[in-house]
Structure 1
Amino acid sequence: MAGPKEQQAKGNWKQLKGKIKEAWGVLTDDDLDRYEGKRDQLEGHIQEKTGESREKIRKKLDRMSTRR
């Protein structure tokens, strides 16, 4: 059974995942599930799919993860 912190982390990921899909509509749930907890690899995948710079992606992800 998952503890409260693990449940919170999963909830946070689900919220962030929704924001990421809004920002980069070319990404699928499978794409995001593959890179859960692997931010550097996620940034690289987004860059491959969109052609955006890594820096721009990183900044956008930072803003998303700090907003509630």
Structure 2
Amino acid sequence: MNWDQVKGKWTELQGQARQQWGQLTDDDIAEARGDREELAGKVRQRYGKSKEEAEREVDEWAARL
């Protein structure tokens, strides 16, 4: 799934994002609004990952959808 599709279906995909990244709060998920960079930033913040790691993880998650 590309990021335009993710953004368009974000309401439906929030639960899957919560399953993938359990340390993200409901507010983190809501604030991301399906934006790739915002979601990667939240993952980076909560998990202490590098920017590259977080972006790769987010991209892999979207590709599996």
TM-score range, shorter chain: 0.5 to 0.7
2-structure distance, mates of 1:38, 1:60:
14
Which amino acid is 2:16 matched to? K
Aligned-pair identity in percent equals: 33
Higher relative contact order (CA 8 A, sep 6+): 2
Aligned counterpart in structure 1 of residue 47 of structure 2, from 46, 50, 62: 50
Runs of 4+ aligned residues of structure 1 deviating over 6 Å after TM superposition are none
TM-score (norm 2): 0.65
Instruction: Report the more deviating stretch, 57-66 or 34-43.
Output: 34-43
- 2:22 paired with 1:25: yes
Q: Which runs of 5+ in 1 are unaligned?
A: 1-8
The alignment covers a number of residue pairs equal to 58
Structure 2 alignment gaps of length 5 or more: 1-7
TM-score under structure 1 length normalisation: 0.63
